[in-house]
Amino acid sequence: MAMSGSSASGRAGRPISPDTTAAILAAARSLVVVHGFAAVTTAMIAAEAGASKQALYRRWTTKADLVLEAFLAQAQAEVDDPAAAEAGDDRLLAFLRRTCAALSTSGPALRSLMAAAQEDDAFRRRFHERLILPRRAALRAVLAEERPAASTEALDLAVTALFGAIWYRLLLDEPLDDDLARRLTALVRAGM
C-alpha cells in the first residue's frame, strides 16, 4: 500500500500503517452492519480488510474495543448538533430525533457493545468514557440551554431518564421513532 507518512514518530522500526488501520475499521463497520456483532468473527474482519488478525490485536485489545472505535466517529457526527440548528428550533426535540434516527442503523451494533460491556469491566469503562459520557454531555448541553436555572443534578437526572428510555427500548427491540422523541420531550418537560 502507499507509504503515507514522513518519519515523525518517536519509535524505531516500521511504523503502524494508517491505511491498514482505516481498512480494518471500515471492514469491521460494514461487516457488523450486515451480519451483526456476534456473527462477525475477528478472522472475517481481518480477511475483509486484507490484514492479519495480528494487525487487529496490535491496535485494539479486544473485538469489542475495535468495533466500538469503528462506530464512534459515525455516531458522534450524526447526533451532536450538525449545523448547530437555527435559533427558534426545538433543540431538544431535534436532538432526540437525530438520536433515534442514527440508532436505526448503528443501533444493533451498540446493543451488542452494551452487552459486551456487561461481562468485561475494562471494556465497560472505555465504552462509558468514549460513547456514553460524550452523548450525555451533548444532551445535557441542549437541556441546559432551555433550563439555565436548573441544577446540574436535575439536568443529569433528565438525561438519565431520556437516554434510559431510549436504551431500554433499543435493548428490548422496540421501535425508536420520531413519535417517541416527541413524547419523551413532553414527558420530561411537563411530567406525567
Partner DNA sequence: ATATTACGGAACCAATAGTACCGAAATAGG
Partner DNA sequence: CCTATTTCGGTACTATTGGTTCCGTAATAT
Q: Does 167 bind DNA (CB under 7 A)?
A: no
Q: Does 36 bind DNA (CB under 7 A)?
A: no
Q: Does 158 bind DNA (CB under 7 A)?
A: no
Stretch of residues binding a copy of itself (CB under 8 A), selected from 7-15, 22-30, 60-68, 146-154: 146-154
Q: Does 128 bind a copy of itself (CB under 8 A)?
A: yes
Q: Does 20 bind DNA (CB under 7 A)?
A: yes
Residue 100 is placed in which grid cell? Answer: 433515534
DSSP class per residue in 56-75: HHHH-SSHHHHHHHHHHHHH
- d(CA 114, CA 98) in angstroms, rounded, equals 20
Q: Does 166 bind a copy of itself (CB under 8 A)?
A: yes
- d(CA 28, CA 23) in angstroms, rounded, equals 9
Q: Is 164 helix (H, G, I), strand (E, B) or coil?
A: helix
Which of DNA, a copy of itself, none does residue 138 bind (CB under 5 to 8 Å by kind)?
none
Q: Burial-class residue 134 by CB neighbours within 10 Å (0-12, 13-18, 19+).
A: middle
Q: Does 15 bind DNA (CB under 7 A)?
A: yes
- Contacts with a copy of itself, residue ranges (CB under 8 A): 36-38, 111-112, 114-119, 124, 128, 132, 143, 147, 150, 153-155, 157-158, 160-169, 171-173, 183-184, 187-192
